[in-house]
Amino acid sequence: RIIRADRLNGLELSEIVRISEKAAYLRKQGKDVVALSTGEPDFPTPDFVIDAAMVAARSGATRYTPTAGTIELRSAVAAEHGRQPGEVVISSGAKQVLSNAIFATVNPGDEVVIPAPFWTSYADMVRIAGGVPVIVKCGVEQGFKLRPEQLQSTLTERSKWLLLNSPSNPTGAIYSAKEFSGLAEVLRGHPAIGVISDEIYAHLSYKQFTSFLAAAPDLADRTLIVSGVSKAWAMTGWRIGWGVGPTNLIKAIIDVQGQSTSGTCSISQAAALAALEGDRTLLTKRCDIYCKRRDHVVAKLNAIPGITCTVPDGAFYVFPTCPFDDGEFCAQLLEDVGVAVVPGRAFGMPGHFRLSFAYSDANLDAGISRMARFFEGYQ
Ligand code: PLP
């Protein structure tokens, strides 16, 4: 009998996955389920990207690529971020960039500061690496964003990373240049701490987006920018993400990657290259559609007595307040009226739930109307 390693203690299946599985199970039982739980665009991958992948597969791009990614894609990503190809690594999604980076740098006992609410995987990645996630509560009253004084009082000698995410999953909050500058000022007094800035939703912004490095270029030698094609280009299944950072950090990530996946899919890399080099009008059009859905969803949720929903600035999630036990409420909502949303506790912030608006208007309307009726009976 194989026994799980101690380092997996406390690790559980992500609540998002659990809810999606439950929704799929209920659907199989014949129940009419409206899932508003997944962070995945409902749009298809653009045709020109699929065409590029077909051409690549037919013309021999079917072999191992360099571990760090093809030079063509690394160069395109470097150009996108105003950097050199040697400062770029391509991995199997932004998620693998994050886990590689943490695995490559976090020693047992090292602390990683994570403002809550946070994307569910961050804390568990740190735990698997033997590190300690230090969760800092950043509630709705502060726009779900970390304040400089909070950062200052959280840093210790063991602090290794500050993990930022803008636009945020689950809140859609975007840090302004001024807000990033305030955090950078604190970091300047702590030269040993680095910043991982997860900017996977950068192209899904409904107000001015600022990269952390645009606000603090002097911190480039200790900052890793994480991004990719999954969300904006609707390419979640292709598994392409990238990290941009100082060469010594990129080298460490490549070393880890070399002993795990040997690099990511050759055909997907060709597709991602086409995405980056292609016309972006489709992205703008889709962003406009998300923005309209956002306004519609926020208005509908705020019309439910007891729910307060702030307007997200980016990504495709809303994170309204939930006046009940959020875990029980979400479980009951799914069970009774077949609507799947994710409780705030999965993101380190109970008292909320996350609803994804990467769904059709019809699904959003049906889901929120059912929720409104359910809410009335629940009180
Ligand atoms: N970072 C955040 C904040 C996300 O929400 C997600 C996906 O949900 C990822 C990273 C992972 O992206 P990818 O699918 O490229 O691995």
Q: Has residue 379 got a pLDDT over 70? A: no
Please, which residues have CB within 8 angstroms of residue 272's CB and are 6 or more apart in sequence? Answer: 49, 73, 90, 228, 229, 233, 235, 238, 240
Q: Which ligand 1 atom minimizes the distance to the CA of 95?
A: 16
Q: Is the C-beta atom of 238 inside 6 A of ligand 1?
A: no
Q: How far is CA 204 from the centre of its chain?
A: 12
Ligand 1, residue 165: give the atom nearest the CA.
3
Return the H-helix or E-strand segment holding 318.
strand 317-318
Res. 55 pLDDT band, cuts 50 70 90 = very high
Within 6-65, where are the H helices?
Answer: 15-28, 47-58
Give me 108's structure tokens: 């047992």
Token digits of residue 77: 């990503």
**90 CB less than 6 Å from ligand 1?**
no
pLDDT at 13 over 80: no
Is the predicted pLDDT of residue 18 greater than 90, yes or no? Answer: no
Contact 347, 139 (CB under 8 A): no
Distance 261 CA to ligand 1 centre (A): 18
Residue 314 near ligand 1, beta carbon < 6 Å:
no
Kindly calculate the radius of gyration of the chain based on its CA atoms and give it in whole angstroms. 21
Substitution site in 14, 17, 92, 95 for ligand 1 pocket (most atoms within 8 Å of beta carbon): 95
Q: Which of 47-56, 87-96, 149-158, 319-328 has the lowest mean pLDDT?
A: 319-328
Question: What CA–CA distance (Å, rounded) separates 241 from 99?
Answer: 12
Closest to 233 measured CA to CA, from 197, 196, 284, 168? 284
> Which of 9-23, 136-150, 245-259, 344-358 comes out lowest in average pLDDT?
9-23
Count other C-beta atoms under 10 Å from residue 379's C-beta.
8
User: CA 62: distance to chain centroid?
Assistant: 29
Q: Whole-angstrom Cα distance, residue 354 to residue 15?
A: 12
For the full predicted model, state whether its pTM sits above 0.90.
Answer: yes
Q: Which residue matches tokens 């094609």?
A: 229
Question: Can you give the pLDDT at residue 2?
Answer: 87
pLDDT in tens, 204-235: 999 999 999 999 999 999 999 999 999 999 99
DSSP sequence for 68-125 = T--HHHHHHHHHHHTS-GGGEEEESHHHHHHHHHHHHHPPTT-EEEEEES--THHHHH
CA–centroid distance, 232 to ligand 1, in Å, is 11
Torsion (CA) 168, 174, 177, 183 in degrees, nearest 10: -50
Which of the four pLDDT bands, split at 50, 70 and 90, describes residue 377? Answer: confident
Secondary structure element (H or E) that encloses residue 242, with its range: strand 241-244
Q: Are 319 and 312 in contact (CB under 8 A)?
A: yes
Model pLDDT for residues 119-144, shown as the tens digit of each residue? 999 999 999 999 999 999 999 999 99
Long-range pairs, 63-68, Cβ under 8 A, ≥24? 63/266, 64/262, 64/263, 64/266, 65/263, 65/264, 65/266, 65/269, 66/263, 67/254, 67/257, 67/258, 67/262, 67/263, 68/250, 68/254, 68/257, 68/263
Map out the domains of the chain with their CATH numbers.
6-44+281-378 (3.90.1150.10), 47-277 (3.40.640.10)
Decide whether any atom of ligand 1 lies within 6 Å of the 272 Cβ: no
CA distance 266 to 58: 12
Q: How far is the CA of 98 from the centre of ligand 1 (A)?
A: 9
CA of 95 to the centre of ligand 1 (A): 6
For residue 321, what is the DSSP state? B
Cis omega before residue 117 (within 30°)?
A: yes
